[in-house]
Structure 1
Amino acid sequence: MKDTRLDVVEDADPIGTQAASWFARLHADEVSEEEQARHQAWLDAAPAHRLAYDRLERMWMMLGGFAATPEVEQRLASLPAPATQPARQPPQRRPRRMRWLAACAAALTAVVIGWRLFAPAPTSELRVASAVGEQRNITLEDGTEVALDTGTTLRVRYSARQRRIVLDQGRAFFKVAADRARPLTVDTAQGSVRAVGTQFEVYRLDNGLDVTLFEGKVQLRAADGSAAAVATLTPGQRAHMTTGKTPQVQNFQGGSAPAWINGQLVFEDLPLRAAVDEFNRYGGSPLRVKDAALGELRVSGVFRSNDSTGFVEALNALHKVSAHTNAAGETELSR
């Protein structure tokens, strides 16, 4: 193979330069926890930071085994440590590390593996979903265990430096494998949950996000990408997050895992409309509440998630709620 050294070009992309500096530093033999925290804070500071760094990681993955050649490793090691705050640079020609790394990857790819230069960038994203009425258990590559409740969709995005999961809909329970160098983050439109090694549940609702912690500790972060934690949970706490508002944290009485893992629904002074919504998530004949006043009836109890009939019978016995099947085939509740 010919010499892969390339000339430097003008630095017109300061974010790309910062990303390359971080990439070089985090590929060193020893990286302190403080540096890891600074790197995470830089990633969280702006979407453009994460995009630039992810592009570098994808390009690095395209190099495969050639990423470890002495020439490439030497150039990475020569990059200075990234500053906490990027300094303004005078308008002059200087090394552009981001383009050097991308160009190096392109050159190696073109010479050694040819067609891969034009192939789509590889991705480590894994999409997992459960159907209505189905529950699934998966184990990720790092040993993290995820239980998906009915009608849940998530995307797993792992890299050498971070573990991120996007919960698009539904509810999931996580048993996170400890990895202090790569905290696991669960992202939703309403906010994020950050953990190292812990057990927690994330439930994405129409009006917000519920996070329940069973073991360990988690940080809650706002949906605006801010690195600052808006709340920290300890075992036995549950938080409801709504965009733009302070999380509502309360204690709960529970075991070591959510009840739905064992096919149960536990209602504690819950409005009937919310209990009905929970049952409807599992399929079967839909339940409908006839009027708003009845929907505010408070209900408590433990029920099988696949036994809406038993739930209706309990409503009739305790609250004199009757049920009949309407023209649409729904079980309509009234009193």
Structure 2
Amino acid sequence: MNNDDLLDPMHDDHDEAPDPVQAQAASWFARLRAEDVSADDRQQADAWLAAAPEHRAAYQRMQQLWTMLGDFAASAEVDARMPASVPSAQPAAAAPVPPAALAPTRNTTRRPRHRLRWLAASAAALVGVAIGWKMLMPPAQQQYATAPGQQRSFSLDDGTRVDLDTASRLLVHYDAKERRITLQQGRAFFRVAKDPQRPLSVDTDSGSVRAIGTRFEVDRHDGSLSVALFEGKVQLRQTGADGKVIGELTPGQRAQVSGSAVQVHDVSLADSPAWTRGQLVFDEQPLDQAVAEFNRYGGTPIHVDDATLRQLKISGVFHSNDTAGFLDALHAAYRISNRNDGQQIQLYR
């Protein structure tokens, strides 16, 4: 692509329509840099920014691009290619946010009225039409990971909230048409920001989960896939971008997925998984599975060699970082002893 391609409002490698949120961000960015901007304009812009996390993210990307363009944004060649008008924004009602969020990112000394309007139109046109938002999109792929014993909570570019459990890793790939997350290992809890035009998919080697706006947990561990739905509705799909739909979940259900086979059962769920609060909850859980949960969080590994003991059902609520408390409870409630040789903890009776 040459400079003429970048500056031509009709040029679009993929013939994609501008994203409406980004188009609104362009309009506000242009309006707030006009000399005749009013206090009412600023109040409406504040409300639009506060209405949704993706609004603020789109506006911040606009600021970054405007700074990056520098003096090139004021070139005569750009001026010659500007459209006659800038689309108007339709702000949503919301509580105002600090005016600092709208502060210009360049040194805007006073210029004649027509020059400031020209700059505003240039900003919107460059971002909304000529560049087609390609320069404003987040990196093609972002990676997030946690070490054993570590947990992380973070927000993605669209406002989706992710809680990432211990020893987990995921990749995020967003573009104009879809939101894809690959959970490579471990466990994550998603609070998905609604975007009907771009459903969010979480992919694993064992299958995929697709949602628009919902809360769900995906657990990829020991070659298996478990999905629990807390709110909304999700589709379960076979592996791959065009994977076949193999099931759906409603709130209060958990699914075990293996290839095209899906086993669904009802479960009692709170607002979020217990592990996001630092707890491990076992309800008639085989001892070997409970031990595996504790081993996720690091520390001296626990082993159960006795086949009968491995299947013993246990119940209780434990802190994920309190192995000693777990061992004490096993001894008090189930008369299970342990031996620690410094390399591992062996359970026995």
Same fold (TM over 0.5): yes
Partner amino acid, structure 1, of 2:180: R
- The structural deviation recorded for 1:222 is 0.7
1:227 positional shift: 4.0
Greater Cα offset, 157-166 or 313-322: 313-322
Distance 1:2 1:164, change over 3 A: closer
Mapping of residues 125-144 of structure 1, within 5 Å: 125-144=141-160
Q: Please, what TM-score do these two structures have when normalized by structure 1?
A: 0.64
Structure-2 separation of matches of 1:29 and 1:155: 23
2:59 is aligned to none
1:270, CA displacement in angstroms?
1.2
User: With structure 2 as the length reference, what TM-score do the two structures score?
Assistant: 0.61
Q: Is the aligned partner of 1:329 residue 2:343?
A: yes
Q: Deviations over 1:29-86 (max 9, x none)?
A: 99xxxxxxxxxxxxxxxxxxxxxxxxxxxxxxxxx99xxx999xxxxxxxxxxxxxxx
Q: How far did 1:294 drift?
A: 1.1
SS of match in other structure, 2:261 = coil
Q: Which residue of 1 aligns with 2:196?
A: 180
| 1:86 corresponds to | none
Contact 2:208 2:240 in 1 (8 A): no
Change in CA separation of 1:174 and 1:329 when aligned onto 2, cut-off 3 Å: same
Match of 1:214 in 2: 230
1:254-269 aligned at under 5 Å gives the runs: 254-269=269-284
- The alpha carbon displacement at 1:236 in A equals 0.4
- Give 1:169's aligned residue: 185
Question: CA 1:29 to 1:152, structure 2 compared with 1: closer, same or farther past 3 Å?
Answer: closer
Distance, in Å, in 1 between the alignment partners of 2:311 and 2:223 is 17
The one-character-per-residue Cα deviations of 1:173-232 (angstroms, maximum 9, x if unpaired) are 000000000000001000000000000000002131000000111000011554431111
Spell out the pairing of 1:150-165 with structure 2 (5 A cutoff): 150-165=166-181
2:254 to 203, 214, 238: 238
The equivalences for 1:1-20 within 5 A come to none
1:85-164 mapped onto 2 (5 Å cutoff): 123-164=139-180
* Structure 2: distance between partners of 1:332 and 1:214: 36
What amino acid maps onto 1:242 in structure 2? S
The separation in 2 between residues aligned to 1:318 and 1:29, in whole angstroms, is 59
Superposition deviation, residue 259 in structure 1: 0.2
Task: Using the TM superposition, give the Cα deviation of residue 334 of structure 1 relative to its aligned residue in structure 2, in angstroms.
Answer: 0.4
Is the Cα contact below 8 Å between 2:141 and 2:174 reproduced in 1? yes
CA separation in 2, counterparts of 1:213 and 1:130?
A: 23
Aligned length: 233
Corresponding position: 1:205 with 2:221? yes
Q: Quick one: which amino acid aligns to residue 329 of structure 1?
A: Q
> Are residues 316 and 2 of structure 1, via their aligned partners in 2, closer, same or farther at CA, if it must alter by over 3 Å?
closer
Q: Distance in 2 between matches of 1:206 and 1:279?
A: 14
1:299 and 2:314 matched: yes
Please report how far the alpha carbon of residue 27 of structure 1 lies from its aligned counterpart in structure 2 after TM superposition: 2.5
1:271 Cα offset (Å):
1.1
Measure the CA separation in 1 of the matches of 2:321 and 2:18: 53
Pair 278,29 (structure 1): closer, same or farther in 2 beyond 3 Å: closer
Cα deviation digits, residues 65-109 of structure 1 (max 9, x gap): 9xxx999xxxxxxxxxxxxxxxxxxxxxxxxxxxxxxxxxxxxxx
Q: For 1:160 and 1:224, how far apart are their aligned partners in 2?
A: 19
Q: Does the alignment pair 1:317 with 2:307?
A: no
SS of 1:318's equivalent in the other structure is helix
The 1-side partners of 2:186 and 2:273 are apart by 14
Provide, for residues 145-176 of structure 1, a one-character-per-residue CA deviation record: whole Å limited to 9, x for no partner.
00000011000001111100000000000000
The 1:313–1:194 alpha-carbon spacing in structure 2 relative to 1, beyond 3 Å, is same
| CA–CA separation in structure 1 for the residues paired with 2:148 and 2:243 | 35
Give the whole-Å Cα distance in 1 for the aligned partners of 2:311 and 2:243. 38
Q: 1:151 to 1:186 in 2, by over 3 A?
A: same
Structure 1 match to 2:209: 193
CA distance in 2, matches of 1:252, 1:302: 16
- Determine helix, strand or coil for the equivalent of 1:273: helix
In the alignment, structure 1 residue 223 sits paired with structure 2 residue 239: yes
- SS in structure 1 opposite 2:299? coil
| Residues 169, 185 of structure 2: 8 Å contact kept | yes
Tell me how far apart the structure 1 counterparts of residues 139 and 211 of structure 2 sit (CA, whole Å): 23
Instruction: Give the whole-Å Cα distance in 1 for the aligned partners of 2:220 and 2:320.
Output: 18
